[in-house]
Amino acid sequence: MSLEIIKEKVAQAVDILNEKNIDMWVTFVQETKVLKDPIMDMTVGDHSTWKSAFIINKDGDTTAIVGDMELENFVKSGVYKNIVGYLKSFKEPFVEYVKKKNPEKIAINFSVNSVLSDGLTHGMYLLLMDYLKGTGYENKIVSAEEIISPLRGRKSDKELAIMQEAVHETLKIFDMVTDYIKPGLSEKDIAEYVLNVTKGKGFGLAWDEETCPAVFTGPNPSNPHSGPTDRKIEKGHLINMDFGIYYKGYCSDLQRTWYVLNDGETKAPDAVQKGFDVIKDSIQMVADAIKPGVTGVEMDDIARNYIIKNGYPEYPHGLGHQVGKEVHDGGAGLFPRWEKYGNAPFLKLEERQVFTIEPRLPVEGYGVSTLEEEVYLTKAGCKFISNPQKELILV
Amino acid sequence: MSLEIIKEKVAQAVDILNEKNIDMWVTFVQETKVLKDPIMDMTVGDHSTWKSAFIINKDGDTTAIVGDMELENFVKSGVYKNIVGYLKSFKEPFVEYVKKKNPEKIAINFSVNSVLSDGLTHGMYLLLMDYLKGTGYENKIVSAEEIISPLRGRKSDKELAIMQEAVHETLKIFDMVTDYIKPGLSEKDIAEYVLNVTKGKGFGLAWDEETCPAVFTGPNPSNPHSGPTDRKIEKGHLINMDFGIYYKGYCSDLQRTWYVLNDGETKAPDAVQKGFDVIKDSIQMVADAIKPGVTGVEMDDIARNYIIKNGYPEYPHGLGHQVGKEVHDGGAGLFPRWEKYGNAPFLKLEERQVFTIEPRLPVEGYGVSTLEEEVYLTKAGCKFISNPQKELILV
C-alpha cells in the first residue's frame, strides 16, 4: 500500500473519530511479523517488533510510541506526526501520553462481530488494562469497531480506482481461461494455467494458492472452499471458477460460469440455461435494491428467496461480503440471519462500500451455476465494478 | 511444514497436556487469512474461514469443529481424528462437545508474556466466554502458555535436523558474501546480492525483506532494526550482517562481522580486535553456562556484565531469543530484567530449546562488533548449531 493512501486513511480516521465522537483510537501491537492486527496495513504500513501504540486522536494529533531501535523507520515514513521511542518500558510513555491527552473515550481493536476490527489479542488487552489500572482511563475503553468498519468500508476515490483496475485485470485472466478451456483438461490444469498467467503478470493472489483459483467441473463437484482436483472437463458439463488477485494492496474476487457444448448442441440445455438465468437475475435484483441504509440480510433474502422460489436449494453461504485490502473485508456483509455471522447481517450499508454478490445453485446432472460480481455503493444505489456476466459462456 | 511434523507436534501436545495435567486445549480461530493464531502452522497446517476449534485432549482425543464447506480439507489432512462440520452455528456443536468431554481445565491461547501463546483475539475470547456462559466451564479456563511454550521450545529430532540444515545453508550464503565484499560497494549492494542468492536457491527470508539482510558499515551505523543504506564500504571499517532464511517451515538467524584492512594493514587494529574478542568470548562464556534449569536473565547478565566490565556500553536489546518456526519463537528468552520483556527473562530454560546469542558493542571510529550464533540445549549444556565465528573475517 502506498504511503500516500496510508496518510489519506489516517486523515479519514480523524474525520470518523469526530463523526463518532471518540477522542482517541489506540492500535496496540507487538511482533507484528508473528501476528499482525489487520489494521496495521491500512494505518501504519510498517512492522513493529516491540510493543508499540499507534494513536490517532479526534483533535488531529497522531502519535506512535515504538521501540527505540525502530524509531528511525517510523520517522522516515512520516505517517505519524510524533514518534516517541522507548528502550525498557512501553508502559511509562504510554500512560504519560494518555494522561496528557485526557480522553473521554478510548477505542481499542476488539470486536465480537468483525475480525477486521478484532486485531488486539486477549493477552495484549489484559496488559493494556493493567497499564491503565487506577488511572480511571481503564473505564473509558470502547470497541474500535465503529471506527474500523467505516474506515475500511468507505473507499476513497484512489482506493476505488485501484479496485477497479484489479477487477479489470482479473477479468482479462478469465477471458484467457475462456480461450484455454477444452474437454480433457483437468481442474488442476486450469488452476495451473491461471497461476502461471497471474505470476507472469506480477500480480499476487487474493487468497491462498490451494484454492485460488478454485475450479469446479461437472455434477456434484467438491464444495465451494475446496481446491481443484484431477476431474476432467467433459462435454455437457458446467465449469465454474472462483478467483481473485492481490493488486497494489487490494483484492478482487470474481466467479464465472462456462458450459461445454455436447456434440450436436448449439446452445445449452434448458435446465442449464434456467440455472444460469436464475443466478444472473437474482444478482440484478439485488443490484437494483442495494443502497446505503438497507441491511445485508435484506439483500441476502432477495436472492435466497428467488432461488428457492425457482425450485433450487438455498446456497450454503452468505450472498456476498465486502472486499478491500482483504478479500473478506469490512464489517457489514450480505449475510443470512445465521448465528455464526453475529451482527454483520444487520448493519446498515454505507456509501462507497464494495460488495461481492455471489449466489449459487446446483443444476442436476450438469454442475453448478454461480457468478460473483463486485459492486460499490453510491448515494442512491450501486454501480458494478465488474462487467457482469449476462450470458452463459459456451465452450 | 510437513504433515508428518504437524502430526508429531499434536502427539507431543498430548504428552504436554498429561505432564501439565490440563484436560483440554482449544485453539479457537476464524478468517485465518486475515489474522492467524501463530500456533495454527504448528498444530493445524490448514486455514479456516469460519469459526473453527482445534481441540486436543489429555486423553488423546483430537477433534476439529469447522465450517461445513471446509470439512473435506481437514478430513484429507488427517491431523485431527474427528472432524465435525457445521453450517449455521458454531456454538452448538462446540458447547455440546465440551459438555461431553467434561474437562476440569480448558486451556485457550492467551498470554501476557508470550506473543506465540497469545493468538486468541479479545473479541474471540469474549465470544468463547459467551458460548460457555452458565455451563460452568467458563470458570475452568486457563492460559495455554504452559502448553505452547514447551511445545514450540522442545524441538523434536526432525525439527532440529531441519534447523541445522537451515543454519548450514545460511552460513554458505555468508561465505559467498565474504567473497563478494569489497570497498566501494554499498550496504544496499550487499543486501541485493544476498537477496538474489537466497531467492535463487529457493529459500524464503526469516523476516521482512526491508531488513533481511540488515547490513551495517563503519562508525555510527543505523540502529540494529534498520534497513541497508547507500553508505559505502571503506577501508578501515567494520561490516556486520544480520540475516536468516526460512527453510522447510523453520527460520535461521545469524550475524557475522568483517573488517576491511586499511592500506598497509595485515591485521585489524588492536581496538577492533579487542572489540571482536570481547564479543566472541562473551558468547563462549554464555555457551559454557547455559543449560536446562538456568534462567535467561542469568545468561544475559553474563554477557552484559562482561561487556560493560571491558569498558563498552551495554547492548540496547536482549542477549538472545528462541528460534523455530518463527525467528523470534518460544516463551523464555535470554533477556534483561526490563519491563517490556514481561516474565520471559525469568523462565527456566529447557532441553531442546534453540537460542540465539547475539551481543553487540560499538568500536569507536570503526563500526560495530557483533556476532549471532545459534545453540540448542542438551541435557547438561548446549551445542552450537552454527559453526561459531572465532576470528574476525578480514577483507
Cβ of B123 within 8 Å of Cβ of A112? The answer is yes
Q: Does the pLDDT value for residue B224 go beyond 90?
A: no
Q: Which of residues 114-143 of B touch A (CB under 8 A)?
A: 115-127, 130, 143
Cβ of A38 within 8 Å of Cβ of B35? The answer is yes
Q: The complex's ipTM?
A: 0.89
**Whole-angstrom distance, CA of residue A326 vs CA of residue B49:** 13
Determine which helix (DSSP H) or strand (DSSP E) holds B112, and give its type and residue range. none
Contacts of A328 in chain B (CB under 8 A): 31, 33-34, 49
Contacts of A94 in chain B (CB under 8 A): none
Which sequence spans correspond to the domains of chain A? 3-152, 154-394
Residue B337's pLDDT is 94
Q: How confident is the model at residue B223 (pLDDT cuts 50, 70, 90)?
A: confident
The residue type at B179: D
Residue B342's pLDDT is 86
Q: How close B50 comes to chain A (CA, Å)?
A: 8
Note whether B328 and B358 are within 8 A (CB): no
Lateral strand order in the sheet of A141-143: A82-86, A62-67, A52-57, A24-29, A106-108, A141-143
For B52, residues 6+ apart whose C-beta sits below 8 A from its C-beta are B28, B29, B30, B64, B65, B66, B67, B70, B90
Note whether B229 contacts A: Cβ–Cβ < 8 A: no
Residue A175's pLDDT is 97
Residue of A nearest to B224 (CA): A69
Contacts of B124 in chain A (CB under 8 A): 112, 118, 122
Q: Mutate which of B28, B32, B35, B92 to test chain A, going by most A C-beta atoms within 10 A? A: B35
Between A156-165, B11-20, B42-51, B215-224, the lowest mean confidence (pLDDT) is in B215-224
Q: Mutate which of A70, A122, A211 to test chain B, going by most B C-beta atoms within 10 A? A: A122
- The DSSP string of A160-219 is HHHHHHHHHHHHHHHHHHHHH--TT-BHHHHHHHHHHHHHHTT-EESS-GGGSSEEEESS
Please identify, in words, the CATH class of the domain defined by A154-394. Answer: alpha beta
- The DSSP string of A335-377 is --S-GGGTTGGGSBP-TT-EEEE--EEEETTTEEEE-BEEEEE
Q: How confident is the model at residue B195 (pLDDT cuts 50, 70, 90)?
A: very high
In chain B, % of residues over pLDDT 70: 99
B143-190 tens-digit pLDDT: 999 999 999 999 999 999 999 999 999 999 999 999 999 999 999 999
Cβ of B121 within 8 Å of Cβ of A126? The answer is no
Residue A339's pLDDT is 84
Q: Which residues of chain A have pLDDT under 50?
A: none
Q: How close A267 comes to chain B (CA, Å)?
A: 32
Residue B69's pLDDT is 85
Contacts of A251 in chain B (CB under 8 A): none
Residue B311's pLDDT is 96
Residue B2's pLDDT is 84
Please identify, in words, the CATH class of the domain defined by A3-152. Answer: alpha beta
Residue B326's pLDDT is 94
For B187, residues 6+ apart whose C-beta sits below 8 A from its C-beta are B215, B216, B217, B228, B229, B230, B231, B233
Q: Which of residues 63-82 of A touch B (CB under 8 A)?
A: 67-73
Compute the mean pLDDT over every residue in chain B, rounded to the nearest whole number. 95
Using CA atoms of A35, B143, B27, B15 in order, give the dihedral in degrees to the nearest 10.
120
Residue A201's pLDDT is 96
Grid cell listed for B376 = 540448542
Q: Does the pLDDT value for residue B1 go beyond 70?
A: no
Q: Which of residues 239-268 of A touch B (CB under 8 A)?
A: none
Ramachandran area for residue A203 (φ above 0: left; ψ -120 to 50: alpha; else beta): beta
| DSSP-derived secondary structure letter, A293 | T
Residue A223's pLDDT is 73
Cβ of B224 within 8 Å of Cβ of A69? The answer is yes
Note whether A222 contacts B: Cβ–Cβ < 8 A: yes
B271-310 tens-digit pLDDT: 999 999 999 999 999 999 999 999 999 999 999 999 999 9
Better pLDDT: B46 or A268: A268
